[in-house]
Chain A
């Protein structure tokens, strides 16, 4: 009860001995709101070995700062966030160290005083705002529960205060009457922010606040968070795996790796003068898809035909390796010319080494030899009838036409609900088009019967977004792949076993013997996605549809899977339909792009040209929604 008294803010006087924090970039006499001193968090699950998720972390956060906490999955960033907000519960335990919030140690506080700290103290916005609201309570009741718990708003003012709070996150008072399932994902996350704000916190921890949201919504929610931080003046800690989002918002960034903070510096320094190699590695996976030349480690732009040494690229900042990001509107679109020019056939056919690449990119040799199948959509529409008499029919795909040539790579880009996944369903025969035709070579997919569809599986295969869900956790890699081989081809016994080994080699899971007996949970996310790709290749398909294949993977694993997808076109001549909302990866591995909005193609053309000189407003807004730290931080 005494906690939110101003007298308590005096500092860490009573709580500990001389409090010497590590030297900071700006050691002015700003008041510290949070001080982490050698904090370690351990997970102690029953019947399993303990895991040290956070090891000896120290950091100081000043009042009013906007700090980013960045790391890949398993880095301990969320664990630290939960510890800071007093939410670390079994099996997690704060092993040692002190978490001083305004001088009082949270780590050793009992539940009741912790609870009273939450009003006027620290608040948290969770990763999946989608599920952070109780489905059986209206939004109004959520606010009233908080007001009732802390009694910091007089009863007569509560209704007015709740309306005011949802107003701060750009929602109208009518949402108070609604249940969570009546709100969109972005609205729900706004409501959770408003709820956290209702505590009048001095420190707010945002744990991946926009990860589950669509790019455009992501952008808008981040804008709201930044505006609120400025207007309400709380201290903010933004936890994210996305360095781009963090750099765009935070003044200072803590980079976390394997439970330790490996770098703590101002955002501009992180971007321009990263000191730790892990930070440099993270940065190297960011690039502006609008740039003239786009490279990632192991994935150099295909317009550049003279790459020097791509294997060394992981250690360098793309800002230094590529020419300065040009203003797309100022320059004429011309790299498309360089792109389409068949420069490569002149080059000697290089051995299929995945790290090297630029020289022999052009000709899909094997598919040219075997003929190949063209995928052609003509005026395709898909209308889903109204769910109820009162509802309206949904036109998920509206008059879409395009051709995917053998060995080609086309990106379908758009936010969720744009119809891109429906197109995948139409091509694989899961859905039939309401109008228009889908042709694979001479076959009309929409007219296929049951057995025709089974044959279609040999021609078209899919790679799914979530490699966890796409593999049966009880089957070994060998079993999974052998089933695919035997279901779709006539190869049996030793032949099937040989084929499995071949597939594993194709997707770069070598030495093969190490992987055949593994179960999915024993593999990393990237390895799992490679197994999914190997399974798709089992029957030597002509077309692979990859639906957001890297969106669930850590950035350091993405490039490997992307380059595998790209190299498959050259090595076995398969053509690729790449469905994504991520324009950077689309730029890197596809030749052509279709931008979808509300089921319609709003723009299409060579990928580089569309990105560098977008014509449609929607394409432009998609490009603008990409976090771009350089836009903010470059002087």
Chain B
């Protein structure tokens, strides 16, 4: 319990630092959004003072000293008020993020969890049956699939299964004709559209989990406590799972934490290729459209989700490994 409290305290401190950095960094950059907009306008001709004042009024120029700005910013963060998007004017940033987030969490989050569980199980099996086909198939297959760049995999799947064979849709999160809402039809439609991007992500991330777990498990299989458990006649399944795999999974959890934290950042390329309206897609458009409020909100959210994922994994680690509690 002391361990968990310590971790939460550390989390709060890091969170504050991240939020503050997110406030400071844009202010340390030279220029401002208004300057960028005016620079673009000036390509077409001279910019009058009235135009400049208008642009600044529209984008909002910070007032008050830096401390007042900081307090106002904190107040906005707490109320999840990140202003109005430039690229999707006049949509509020929070609304845009709220719409995109579920898609990404469902797609990337589910795939990450499935890939971790499936890859770990296959890795355990490969190490336990080392040297048999149960080892060779996932290991060789996993490293083979890992060598594919995922945008290439996604293009291949899109072309053959989507464009040529017409088995799957090639764009979007749901059909143009579907009625968004809580209904069975819409749910099936969502799954149907998520299939190709999900398979792409699964194919490219599975191999890493298999190989990581296999190698960790082969190491723990050589540990004395495994030999001693066998010498005591403890059954194979217990030795494999509770002695070898149970210890081998610990270092992999850290990797899982990082992967989970990355979920909210989305998968920019995959979402872009499949036209999937998740966070990655949004971030891409924010960068293209120099949409500072949207970018700032997205960066903050990505940072926070990495921190939260790490906190969860840290606490889980404490539960699973008694040594970290002391």
Contact = CB atoms under 8 A, between A and B. Distances in A.
A594 B69 CA distance: 68
Given A135-B322, A135-B323, A136-B322, A146 B234 contact: yes
Nearest to B234: A149
Contact of B247 (A111, A124, A136): A136
A124 B231 contact: yes
Contact of A85 (B223, B231, B243, B326): B231
**Which of B232, B236, B323 lies at the interface centre, i.e. has the most chain A CB atoms within 10 A of its CB?**
B232
Contacts of A182: 326
A389 to B, nearest CB: 12
B238 to A, nearest CB: 6
A126 B227 contact: yes
A134 B221 CA distance: 11
A126 B233 contact: no
A192 interface: yes
Q: How large is the interface on A (under 10, 10 to 19, 20 to 34, 35 or more residues)?
A: 20 to 34
B322 A115 contact: no
B247 A149 contact: no
B225 A132 contact: yes
B247 to A, nearest CB: 6
A199 B322 CA distance: 27
B145 to A, nearest CB: 26
B320 to A, nearest CB: 7
A116 B238 CA distance: 15
B228 interface: yes
A134 B247 contact: yes
Nearest to A46: B131
A131 interface: yes
A181 interface: yes
A145 B236 CA distance: 12
A126 B247 contact: no
A131 B225 contact: yes
Interface residues of B, number: 24
Interface in A101-136: 111, 115-119, 123-124, 126-128, 131-136
A151 to B, nearest CB: 11
B313 to A, nearest CB: 16
Contact of B235 (A115, A133, A196): A115
B52 interface: no
A41 to B, nearest CB: 16
B6 to A, nearest CB: 11
B127 to A, nearest CB: 14
B234 A132 contact: no
A521 to B, nearest CB: 19
Given A116-B233, A146-B233, A132 B228 contact: yes
A179 B224 contact: no
B231 A145 contact: no
Contacts of B236: 111
B37 interface: no
Given A126-B224, A181-B323, A134 B231 contact: no
Given A137-B242, A145-B242, A179-B322, A123 B231 contact: yes
A145 B234 contact: yes
**Which of B228, B243, B322 lies at the interface centre, i.e. has the most chain A CB atoms within 10 A of its CB?**
B228
Given A126-B224, A136-B321, A149 B242 contact: no
Contacts of A118: 231-233
B91 interface: no
Interface in A223-281: none
B229 interface: yes
A150 interface: yes
A111 B233 CA distance: 10
A102 B320 CA distance: 42
A195 interface: yes
A195 B232 contact: yes
Contacts of A179: 322-323
Contacts of A149: 232-235, 238
Interface in B303-326: 320-323, 326
Contacts of B246: 134, 136
B185 interface: no
Contacts of B322: 135-136, 179, 181
B230 interface: yes
A136 B229 CA distance: 14
Given A134-B243, A134-B247, A87 B231 contact: yes
B225 A133 contact: yes
Contacts of B227: 87, 126, 132
30 contacts: A111-B236, A118-B232, A119-B233, A123-B231, A124-B228, A126-B227, A126-B228, A127-B224, A128-B224, A132-B225, A132-B228, A134-B242, A134-B243, A134-B246, A134-B247, A136-B247, A136-B321, A136-B322, A137-B243, A145-B234, A146-B233, A148-B238, A149-B233, A149-B235, A149-B238, A181-B322, A181-B326, A195-B228, A196-B231, A199-B233
Given A136-B246, A146-B233, A198-B232, 19 more contacts: A118-B232, A124-B231, A126-B224, A128-B224, A131-B225, A132-B228, A133-B225, A134-B243, A134-B246, A135-B247, A135-B323, A136-B247, A137-B243, A149-B233, A149-B235, A181-B322, A192-B228, A196-B232, A199-B233
Interface of A: 85, 87, 111, 115-119, 123-124, 126-128, 131-137, 145-146, 148-150, 179, 181-182, 192, 195-196, 198-199
